[in-house]
Amino acid sequence: MGNRVQAASSRRRLSRAPATTKRIIALAIRLNFLDSGFERDFAAFLTTKREVSEDVNAVVRAIIDDVRARGDAALADYSARFDGVDFSVTPMAVSAAEIDAAIDAVEPEVLGALKVAATRIEAHHRRQLPKDDLYEDKMGVGLGSRWTAIDAVGLYVPGGTASYPSSVLMNALPAKVAGVPRIVMVVPTRGGAINPAVLAAARLAGVEEIYRIGGAQAVASLAYGTETIAPVAKIMGPGNAYVAAAKRQVFGTVGIDMIAGPSEVLVIADRDNDPDWIAADLLAQAEHDAGAQAILITDDAAFGASVEQAVERQLKTLPRSETATASWRDFGAVILVPDLDKAVPLANRIAAEHLELAMADPDSMVPKIRNAGAIFIGRHTPEVIGDYVGGSNHVLPTARSARFSSGLGVLDYMKRTSILRLGPEQLRILGPAAIALAKSEGLEAHARSVAIRLNFGEEG
Amino acid sequence: MGNRVQAASSRRRLSRAPATTKRIIALAIRLNFLDSGFERDFAAFLTTKREVSEDVNAVVRAIIDDVRARGDAALADYSARFDGVDFSVTPMAVSAAEIDAAIDAVEPEVLGALKVAATRIEAHHRRQLPKDDLYEDKMGVGLGSRWTAIDAVGLYVPGGTASYPSSVLMNALPAKVAGVPRIVMVVPTRGGAINPAVLAAARLAGVEEIYRIGGAQAVASLAYGTETIAPVAKIMGPGNAYVAAAKRQVFGTVGIDMIAGPSEVLVIADRDNDPDWIAADLLAQAEHDAGAQAILITDDAAFGASVEQAVERQLKTLPRSETATASWRDFGAVILVPDLDKAVPLANRIAAEHLELAMADPDSMVPKIRNAGAIFIGRHTPEVIGDYVGGSNHVLPTARSARFSSGLGVLDYMKRTSILRLGPEQLRILGPAAIALAKSEGLEAHARSVAIRLNFGEEG
């Protein structure tokens, strides 16, 4: 790992354009498919780590143990210490009146936009509801797959600037569609105050049980319960290093969703795009996090250069310029290919969370893409639409995990139970094969449990 | 945790029937719903830990690093040391000729049984294949969920006595049905020899790429690749503590399946069962592992006692008596309820991997069961049928995780990509809501990436 990272940095120094002018804020990595070292450089680029994981396991373990031992009292202590909130003054549970007041406090335009988003997200996710499949085969064996909602889920909502109402909708609405009877939201506060838009989003998503707690202590209380908070069966939602470590530690006792990494976008674009549009899309990813990644693949070197210049220009006027600059400088990339077909295998190896196809005839490329969290087709589908109002979920697999996992959906809030039903006749037909396999595996009690029902003279 | 375990042990001492005779081999825990302390005792019973997790993380980390650094050479060294196999004599890759020979070596009865199982498992899992859902909403926005198979998966098959051909079928056939183009199997050997039935099962499941390697080194080679073995995207299958730790450590680089715990069965039975049948079912679980768990819930105390006596009798003649005795003694339980309806909430809290309903009218209970890996309906459906030839998967959630997860299926070998497509008109309608939300979340570059396409006078 160490070696690879070093290789990537030295390559990066080599492959950057010379910084001849002071005006240049940040230069992305440049790769050219036709260069002799491309495969080596691209492979190194793929394995570049974009986050440093802090080891907070011991601290988190202590907090979890304390919450298990002292329950509400521990929650009160940690919330006083970390969030500056006194539960004897501001209750831990958020009241319905508070949510009502929050809705009044949200700007009408934003509330309206949240409603548009909620309606579309709910409609799209309804189509993901699985159907039970109960049937009898030719032999008369009853078989089936039956889906049920998880009894109770916890939704972690980060505090501060990362407290996104859109994420509340994206995490809670699939649970509501799945039919989860109890959805519990936890959100850390600064002195007890919660972003009104977050509470409005919770109300729109049908979440009424909300506690102003956060960190590892909130995760522990959801997993093990306290006097006030009944435990849940699965914990969802993003959080900082403490929250991620706590989720990993309680996994097994409860289910957890994926641990999301920094966001990323891959834009495949031909020369007929407005460079400013593509630059804006790249920066929409880059502004999320210094570890975010924005990649452009194009078949036109001049267009690539125009996009780089547009990024430079736009960075100067961006409120989150510092973050976006760091992301573009450290992880941004412009990859030149001789033709866009060559972009397909690269895209499948990158397996981006978000993939934009901004080209003539994007539809012909879609079936060739095997690995992507979400695909945004055509010049008028910026990824940002998917973040908010497209209807699909914005919680998507990062860090190449789209090779083996999916975005958040209704199935993440449900589980499947298999059903099997034999009568005496079916057991008579299938039993001998089960006995033969059990015996060949050395599991005599397995064999007996079938044989004893067939009067095969096995000892009872 | 310490306290709870202690409470459970002292309770266990109290609630056991007095061991008045030397003939008694093992007594399970007895709980009675009508006892005043039932809720407390049942809650403690639920949290009893059944496995000690060995901390092998450091050793595993070193092995993984070594395989990443030295590739095939490291695999050869570890396999010589741990498995006593010399790859210069017995090649690491299993040849097609070897698989042919293995099939000839398997008893015809067992081979026939494997074919019955494979046919039924494949047919059942075909029904799990998800359908793509691509559609246009009323506004003309294109949306969709598209499923694709994972490019390559690795299947770990344990060596020694736990090398079950049935598990090869259960893990590999859903991958084949999903359309996974490359399935790689690894299996540790003693001196290079592989159970012929395992190779036969691999052939039946369409697995042709097989390596005789195991342990953390096999997991590392699947995750990172070596000169001989190309890396996969997801690693499935059970293994010992080293394998489990290795899977946890490579998670992220590749996907992994759940880490399975010891097996368990819950049988809900009325008095009209043959006690010997039910005892045989309980022991079929107990013989798996000293940490396995077999639980009977009945509404008839005399029937419960008869089953206990039958367990005693059958234990005496069981080849794996030592394992089954330890399991029944340490984790077995007989729970008496006043009527079988009272068993339902208990079953939902236990969330058993396997649930047998051996009673009159079992169908009326099925819809009330929310949490179970698999349900076996009626007196002629012993759980063992599901282990081998029922058609459903025998890889199921253990240790109460059926509250939030499902058994292995075709979806575990696929991933879903969201699709979004807007034209200029749809962007004009939906764009303003996205801009409002982006601005309210303080993400100006997000807002810009939409506004710039709408000529909203945002800076480009």
DSSP A336-395: E-SSGGGHHHHHHHHT-SEEEEESSSGGGTGGG--S-SEEEESTT--HHHHHHTSSS-S-
Closest CA relative to residue B329, chosen from B7, B6, B22, B25: B25
Contact B318 A112 (CB under 8 A): no
**Is position A409 within any domain?**
no
Q: Examine the domain organization and report whether B70 and B45 are in the same domain.
A: no
Contact A389, A165 (CB under 8 A): no
DSSP-derived letter for residue B241 is H
Q: Cβ contacts (< 8 Å) between B366 and chain A: which residues? A: 419
Q: Do A419 and B374 touch (CB under 8 A)?
A: yes
Residue A163 confidence (pLDDT): 82
Place of tokens 């042919």: B100
The answer to whether the CB atoms of B255 and A405 lie below 8 A apart is: yes
Nearest CA in chain B to A287: B445
Report pLDDT for A23.
62
Compute the half-sphere exposure of residue A460: CA atoms within 13 Å on the CB side of its CA.
15
Q: How far is it, in rounded angstroms, from Cα B456 to Cα B448?
A: 9
Selection from B54, B278, B175 nearest residue A404 by Cα: B175
Please check whether residue B383 lies inside any domain of the structure: yes
Residue B68 sits in the same domain as residue B152:
yes
Shortest distance between the Cα of B69 and any Cα of chain A, in A, equals 10
Residues B182 and B277 in one domain: no
CB atoms within 10 A of CB A13: 7
**Packing angle between helix A215-224 and helix A241-250, nearest 10 degrees?**
20
Burial of A130 (0-12, 13-18, 19+ CB in 10 A): middle
Range of A194's domain? 57-132+141-256
Nearest to A255 among B128, B372, B404 (CB): B404
Nearest CB to A420: which of B392, B420, B446? Answer: B392
Q: Is B263 annotated as a binding residue?
A: yes
Distance CA A242, CA A213 (A): 13
In a domain, B313, yes or no: yes
Among B287, B381, B418, whose Cβ lies nearest the Cβ of A393?
B418
Mutate to test the interface with B, among A132, A437, A439, A455 (most CBs of B within 10 A): A437
Beta-carbon count within 10 A of B287 CB? 29
Chain B: residue whose CA lies nearest to A274? B453
pLDDT of residue A456: 62
Distance between CA atoms of A431 and B380, rounded to whole angstroms? 10
Amino acid at A256: I
Residue B27 covered by a domain: yes
What CATH number has the domain bearing residue B394? 3.40.50.1980
Of A125, A129, A118, A122, nearest to A414 by C-alpha is A129
pLDDT value of position A4: 31
Instruction: Please state, in angstroms and rounded to a whole number, the distance separating the CA atoms of residues B259 and B246.
Output: 11
Are the beta carbons of A197 and A114 closer than 8 angstroms?
yes
Q: Are residues A69 and A18 in the same domain?
A: no
Query: B416 lies in a domain?
Result: no
Q: Which residue of A has its CA nearest to B452?
A: A277
pLDDT of residue A318: 95
- Tell me if residue B227 is catalytic: no
Q: Are A275 and A283 in contact (CB under 8 A)?
A: no
DSSP class of A228: S
H or E segment to which residue B142 belongs = strand B142-149
Q: Which one of B256, B279, B299 terminates a domain?
A: B256
Local structure of A267: helix, strand or coil: strand
CA distance A388 to chain B (A): 6
Alpha carbon distance A4, A15 (integer Å): 16
> Hunting for tokens 């396409």 — which residue is that?
B453
CA distance B145 to B151: 18
Q: Are residues A199 and A88 in the same domain?
A: yes
A417 contacts B372? CB cut-off 8 A: yes
Residue of A124, A125, A354, A394 with catalytic role: A354
Find the residue in B nearest to A133 (Cα): B127
Residues at the binding site of A are 156, 217, 240, 263, 285, 288, 354, 387, 441, 446
> Are residues B269 and B296 located together in one domain of the fold?
yes
Asked if B408 and B174 count as a contact pair (C-beta separation under 8 A), the reply is yes
- Residue B55: what pLDDT? 86
Q: Are residues B252 and B265 both part of a single domain?
A: no
Q: Which single residue is written with the structure tokens 């729970």?
A: B335
- B258 near B394, Cβ under 8 Å? no
Task: State whether A436 and B109 contact (CB < 8 Å).
Answer: yes
Listed in sequence order, the residues at least 6 apart from A318 whose beta carbon sits closer than 8 Å to its beta carbon are A283, A287, A324, B444, B445, B448
Q: Do A382 and B151 touch (CB under 8 A)?
A: no
Could you tell me the CA-to-CA distances from B105 to A289, A439, B109, B110, B194 in Å, in that order? 59, 16, 12, 10, 12
B354 is in an annotated binding site: yes
d(C-alpha B260, C-alpha B164), whole Å = 15
In order along chain B (460 residues), what is the average pLDDT of each group of 10 residues? Answer: 34 46 74 96 91 87 97 98 96 96 96 98 98 97 98 94 90 98 96 94 97 98 98 96 93 90 95 98 96 97 98 96 96 97 98 98 97 98 98 96 97 98 98 97 97 69
Q: Is the four-CA dihedral A419, A420, A423, A426 of positive or negative sign?
A: positive
Same-domain pairing of B301 and B426: no
- Residue B387 included in any domain: yes
Token pair, residue B110, equals 């067992």
Edge-to-edge strands of the sheet including A374-377?
A29-32, A333-336, A293-298, A264-269, A354-358, A374-377, B414-421, B142-149, B133-136
On whether both A175 and A237 belong to a single domain, the answer is: yes
User: Does A233 contact B404 at a Cβ distance shorter than 8 Å?
Assistant: yes
Cβ-nearest to B287 among A388, A390, A445: A445
Binding residues of A for NAD(+): 156, 217, 240
- How many beta carbons lie within 10 A of that of residue B272, not counting itself? 11
Q: Which residue of B has its CA nearest to A255?
A: B404
Which residue shows structure tokens 């459970």? B8
Q: How far apart are CA A395 and CA A138, in angstroms?
A: 42
Q: Active-site residue A54, yes or no?
A: no
Residues A265, A333 within the same domain: yes
Dmax (CA) for chain B in angstroms is 91
Strand partners, B261: none
Q: Which among A122, A287, A353, A356 is annotated as catalytic?
A: A353
Chain B contact set for A373 (CB, 8 A): 417-418
Question: What's A427's domain CATH number?
Answer: 1.20.5.1300
| Direct distance between the N- and C-terminal alpha carbons of chain A, in angstroms, rounded to an integer | 59
Active-site pick, B353, B356, B383, B394:
B353
Residues of chain B with Cβ-Cβ distance to A61 below 8 Å are none
Residue A201 host element (H or E):
helix A196-204
Question: Which chain A residue is nearest to residue B442, measuring alpha carbons?
Answer: A161
Q: Taking CB atoms and an 8 Å cutoff, what residues of chain B touch A281?
A: 449
How far off is chain A from B373, nearest CA to CA, in Å? Answer: 5
CA dist., res. A438 & res. A450, Å (int)? 10
Q: Decide if B333 is inside a domain.
A: yes
Q: Do B375 and A420 touch (CB under 8 A)?
A: yes
Which of A168, A325, A400, A440 to mutate against chain B (most B CBs within 10 Å)? A440
The catalytically annotated residue of B287, B354, B383, B394 is: B354
Q: Is residue B457 in some structural domain?
A: no
- Total domains in chain A come to 3
Model pLDDT, residue B23? 61
Q: Which of B256, B276, B302 is the last residue of a domain?
A: B256
Q: Which residues of B touch A310 (CB under 8 A)?
A: 460
On whether both B252 and B274 belong to a single domain, the answer is no
Picking from A256, A286, A314, the residue at the C-terminal end of a domain is A256
Asked if A252 and A273 sit in the same domain, the reply is: no
Distance between CA atoms of B460 and B451, rounded to whole angstroms?
A: 9
User: What is the residue-level pLDDT of chain A in tens, covering all 460 positions?
Assistant: 233 333 334 344 435 544 444 567 788 999 999 999 999 999 999 988 888 777 899 999 999 999 999 999 999 999 999 999 999 999 999 999 999 999 999 999 999 999 999 999 999 999 999 999 999 999 999 999 999 999 999 999 998 766 899 999 999 999 999 999 999 999 999 988 999 999 999 999 999 999 999 999 999 999 999 999 999 999 999 999 999 999 989 999 999 998 888 999 999 999 999 999 999 999 999 999 999 999 999 999 999 999 999 999 999 999 999 999 999 999 999 999 999 999 999 999 999 999 999 999 999 999 999 999 999 999 999 999 999 999 999 999 999 999 999 999 999 999 999 999 999 999 999 999 999 999 999 999 999 999 999 986 444 3
Whether A278 contacts A268, CB under 8 Å: no
